[in-house]
C-alpha cells in the first residue's frame, strides 16, 4: 500500500493494518519528515485519543491529513503508533 499526496509517496508498506476501512502504516514506513505535529486531538470510544499530523509537501500543507493513536485502548493496541491518512491523501495498492 502507498499513501500519496501532491504526487509524493508519504508512506509505503505491505504490512498495513486495516481498521474501519483505513490502512494504518507502520511508523517506519512513513516519511516522517513530511509530517508536522498538529494540535488536533479526537476521541474514539474503543480506540482512544487520536493525535494528528499536517502533511507538508514542498510548502503545501494538508492540515490534519494524518492521524495515529500514541496510547490506544487495549482493543486497538495493534495500531499503536501506526499512521493513517485522509483528506485527499490517496491510499492505493
Kindly give the confidence (pLDDT) of every residue in the chain, 93 residues in length, as a single tens digit, with 9 standing for 90 and above: 999 999 999 999 999 999 999 999 999 999 999 999 999 999 999 999 999 999 999 999 999 999 999 999 999 999 999 999 999 999 999
Based on the number of CB atoms within 10 Å of its own CB, is 3 exposed (0-12), middle (13-18) or buried (19 or more)?
A: buried
Based on the number of CB atoms within 10 Å of its own CB, is 31 exposed (0-12), middle (13-18) or buried (19 or more)?
A: middle
Alpha-carbon span 35 to 57, nearest angstrom: 9
The strand pairing partners of 80, in sequence order, are 69
Alpha-carbon span 22 to 84, nearest angstrom: 7
Amino acid at each position: 500500500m502507498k499513501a500519496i499526496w501532491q504526487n509524493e509517496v508519504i508512506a509505503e508498506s505491505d504490512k498495513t493494518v486495516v481498521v474501519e476501512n483505513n490502512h494504518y502504516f507502520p511508523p517506519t514506513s512513513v516519511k516522517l519528515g513530511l509530517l508536522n505535529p498538529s494540535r488536533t486531538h479526537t476521541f474514539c470510544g474503543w480506540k482512544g485519543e487520536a493525535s494528528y499530523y499536517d502533511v507538508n509537501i514542498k510548502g503545501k500543507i494538508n492540515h490534519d491529513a494524518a492521524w495515529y493513536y500514541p496510547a490506544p485502548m487495549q482493543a486497538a493496541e495493534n495500531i499503536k503508533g501506526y499512521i493513517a491518512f485522509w483528506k485527499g491523501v490517496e491510499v492505493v495498492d
